[in-house]
Amino acid sequence: MALSGKVCLVTGSSRGLGKGIAVQLGEAGATVYVTGRSSSTEASVVGGSLKETATEIDARGGKGIAVVCDHSNDEEVKALFTRIKQDHGRLDVLVNNAYAAVTAIFKSHQAGEKFWQKEGEPGRWWDLVNGVGLRNHYICSAYAAQMMVEAKSGAIFNVSSFGGKSYLFDVAYGIGKAAVDRMSADMAVELKEHGVPCVTIYPGAVLTELITHSMKADDSGRMEKIFSKGESPEFSGKAVVALASDPKLIEKTGKVLVCAEVAKEYGFTDIDGSSPPSRAQV
């Protein structure tokens, strides 16, 4: 197994993209810490839980470790990394995926709201969209880097989207994704001399459980237009595994890597055997 013996953390992995990445890391033989705001089946119309993700990782040959962590709570985040260090003394792969505003963004998008029409004070929407999806990525990266720099090994993956390149869904969303891209690039500058790569990954349109559910309820056609020929959540996981297994990943540090382009380079397909189209020209 390509990542046998490696210790990984995927934040926000009860379901969706985070779960897809986590189970693929498990299939590659890794020990994978998975986080979310509760351990059991959560109050969600689409289900999913940390326990289910950890169990799936075990079933695929890895070791899943579920840790309840609210990524908007700095003390809980600090405790998470303290535990990983105490348990293993190192962290080989960090995937910053946690995001708290998916449901709110889709609801607002479907309603056709503009940035000046959001409910409440403008700062409230900003904090909802970027408090976890941007700020927490920085915090987790800092804690991970402390272990990785000491070991002179490891890799950080920041999950972003094409919203960092052109308008998608919402103004605050796009700003946050563009900032994640820049954050990876600048972290890469400071980490390179220590042999620790930091890259951004761009999934395409991912057919998560929530997206699939939302498409059924969307009469506007907006969702269908965006997510036609979508990727499975595990396609991004395959990209992370391929990149994390590449001993020359440092040559890509600081770059934005589109998962469909990674698939072409490393020769893998989605779990159904399809090759999702690249949206690299967006």
Q: What is the pLDDT of residues 72-127, one digit of tens each?
A: 999 999 999 999 999 999 999 999 999 988 889 988 988 899 999 998 899 999 99
pLDDT computed for residue 219 by the predictor? 59
Contact status, residue 19 vs residue 70, Cβ threshold 8 Å = no
Does the annotation mark 173 as catalytic? yes
pLDDT computed for residue 209 by the predictor? 77
pLDDT computed for residue 21 by the predictor? 98
Instruction: Using alpha carbons, select from 166, 93, 169, 104 the residue that is nearest to residue 131.
Output: 104
Q: Which of 33, 99, 173, 202 is catalytic?
A: 173
Quick one: residue 279, left, alpha or beta (phi over 0 = left, psi -120 to 50 = alpha)? alpha
Element (H, E) at 238: helix 233-244
Instruction: Using alpha carbons, select from 68, 20, 62 the residue that is nearest to residue 42.
Output: 68
Dihedral sign for Cα atoms in the order 185, 261, 231, 21: negative
Contact status, residue 35 vs residue 110, Cβ threshold 8 Å = no
Q: For each of the domains in the chain, give its residue range(s) and CATH number, in order of start.
A: 7-266 (3.40.50.720)
pLDDT computed for residue 226 by the predictor? 63
pLDDT computed for residue 110 by the predictor? 80
pLDDT computed for residue 223 by the predictor? 58
Q: Which residue has the tokens 């960090």?
A: 94
CA distance 189 to 132: 23
Dihedral sign for Cα atoms in the order 34, 35, 38, 43: negative
pTM attached to this predicted model: 0.93
DSSP 8-state secondary structure symbol assigned to residue 206: B
Question: What is the distance between the terminal CA atoms of the chain, rounded to a whole angstrom?
Answer: 35
At 208 the three-state DSSP class reads: coil
Q: What is the CA radius of gyration of the chain?
A: 18
Residues in the chain predicted with pLDDT less than 50, given as ranges, are none
